[in-house]
Structure 1
Amino acid sequence: MLGTVLLLAVMAVSACETVQGAGRDMQTAGQMVQQESADAQYGM
């Protein structure tokens, strides 16, 4: 999971050209992490 988050972070930083784009990329990555943690919690 940590590897996935790091990969998404690297992709987000390299893919965006503006501060606004970086914000959207980080928001998307955060939502994915939040979903993964919710899935893990319900799977326990």
Structure 2
Amino acid sequence: MKSSEPSGIYKCTECDNEETHVEGNSFAPCSKCENNNWKLVRKTK
């Protein structure tokens, strides 16, 4: 995913693990399954 995605809580599309992302930072692979596809759950400020 792009680092320009908004800050928020993202859910892994593979294992449903939730992790935070800060806009401008690179997305890391999921810490549980190494998948790199995320879906936004809730935007943060």
Same fold flag (TM > 0.5): no
Calculate the TM-score normalised by the size of structure 2. 0.21
Greater RCO, 1 or 2 (C-alpha within 8 Å, sep 6+): 2
Which of the pair is proportionally richer in helix? Answer: 1
Larger Rg computed on CA atoms:
1
Which of the pair is proportionally richer in strand? Answer: 2
Calculate the TM-score normalised by the size of structure 1. 0.21
